[in-house]
């Protein structure tokens, strides 16, 4: 079975003000990639599915769903970073619907794994509010669908966007069925994601934040994967792996302060596939989050999709982790050691 790739020109219909980093050109620049991937045997997945109220209400409050519905056909400022245009509500429903469709296609065996280049992104959207360029939380909607519609008991979400996925964290903060692991620059927007945020109640230990200092590179990220992400995830033994695949940790990104390259994203994708292969029958769905340098975004998406399709160990990352990254990872091990054997 192949890895599928999804993109849709309609995601460009969501417009932000001029100069906004999360712009429609992100999708337009990625569109030609579908043809290139198809030439390598990676099929395009088309879907007209829109998330319904039932899907959204698994994650968002009724008030939030209604507020977003009221933005249809209107250009509004929801906060200093987050805006709608006339087509934004429809576009957000398509993005969340595509996330649902990708997990269904992988669960029914049509595809081994999938990457969905959706827009607007989602991981900052909380139950009650849109924020951080995000209207609905696509990855959280997909995870709830796997739990409720497919009856899974263990879902892993790996978030490697440079910003902490606060909305995803809070959606599952007291839920031991979802292991949320976030590697992010810290301190940074949105201010959450400290190592001490580990979950609550039965979810204690099932939020794993790996806050990293600015300037971390491929070797630093892979040190975090090898020391924290991989051992915890394999003990959790997920039945499905979702990835909030943001590419704003790339060294060329104008918003982030990290130094990850395509080699690092390749290695992270391979690590995720290794986790999925051990307990989830290889089932992985990646959903696009951030990434604001167009060439870096395209090159990184291309690299990750091809790795998902080819499998294997991934590119070799050279160099050793820096001292500050090692200290950050040691702190995560110290805190998470009360929940996991590390």
Active-site amino acid positions:
124
Whether the CA torsion 86, 90, 93, 99 is positive or negative: it is negative
How many residues does the structure list for the chain?
342
Q: With contact defined as beta carbons under 8 Å apart, do 105 and 4 qualify?
A: yes
Helices (H), 71-229: 88-107, 138-148, 166-171, 218-224
Each residue of 217-256: b (16+ CB within 10 Å) or e? bbbbbbbbbebbbbbbbeebebbbbbbbbbbbbbbbbebb
Q: Pick from 102, 103, 106, 99: which is nearest to 134 by CA?
A: 99
DSSP at 23: -
Nearest-5° Cα angle at 28, 24 to 29: 115
């Amino acid at each position: 079975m192949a890895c599928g790739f999804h993109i849709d020109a309609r995601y460009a219909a969501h417009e932000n003000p001029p100069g906004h980093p999360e712009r429609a050109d992100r999708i337009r620049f990625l569109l030609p990639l579908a043809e290139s991937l198809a030439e390598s045997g990676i099929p395009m997945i088309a879907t007209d599915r829109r998330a319904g109220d039932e899907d959204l209400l698994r994650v968002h409050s009724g008030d939030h769903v209604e507020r977003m519905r009221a933005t249809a056909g209107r250009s509004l400022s929801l906060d200093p970073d987050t805006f709608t245009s006339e087509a934004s509500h429809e576009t957000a429903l398509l993005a969340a619907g595509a996330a649902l469709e990708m997990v269904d296609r992988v669960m029914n065996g049509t595809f081994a794994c999938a990457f969905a280049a959706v827009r607007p992104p989602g991981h900052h959207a909380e139950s009650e509010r849109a924020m951080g360029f995000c209207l609905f939380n696509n990855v959280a909607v997909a995870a709830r669908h796997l739990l409720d519609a497919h009856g899974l008991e263990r879902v892993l979400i790996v978030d490697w966007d440079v910003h902490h996925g606060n909305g995803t964290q809070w959606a599952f903060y007291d839920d031991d069925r979802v292991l949320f692991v976030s590697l992010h620059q810290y301190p940074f927007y949105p201010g959450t994601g400290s190592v001490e945020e580990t979950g609550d109640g039965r979810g204690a230990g099932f939020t794993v934040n790996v806050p990293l200092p600015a300037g971390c590179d491929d070797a630093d990220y892979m040190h975090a994967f090898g020391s924290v992400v991989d051992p915890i995830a394999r003990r959790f033994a997920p039945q499905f792996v979702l990835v909030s695949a943001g590419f704003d940790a790339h060294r060329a990104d104008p918003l982030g302060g990290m130094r990850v390259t395509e080699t690092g994203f390749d290695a992270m994708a391979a690590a995720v596939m290794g986790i999925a292969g051990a307990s989830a029958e290889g089932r992985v769905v990646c959903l696009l989050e951030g990434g604001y340098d167009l060439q870096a975004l395209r090159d990184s998406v291309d690299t990750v999709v091809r790795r998902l399709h080819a499998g294997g160990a991934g590119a070799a990352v050279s160099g050793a982790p820096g001292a500050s990254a090692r200290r950050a990872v040691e702190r995560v091990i110290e805190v998470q050691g009360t929940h996991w054997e590390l």
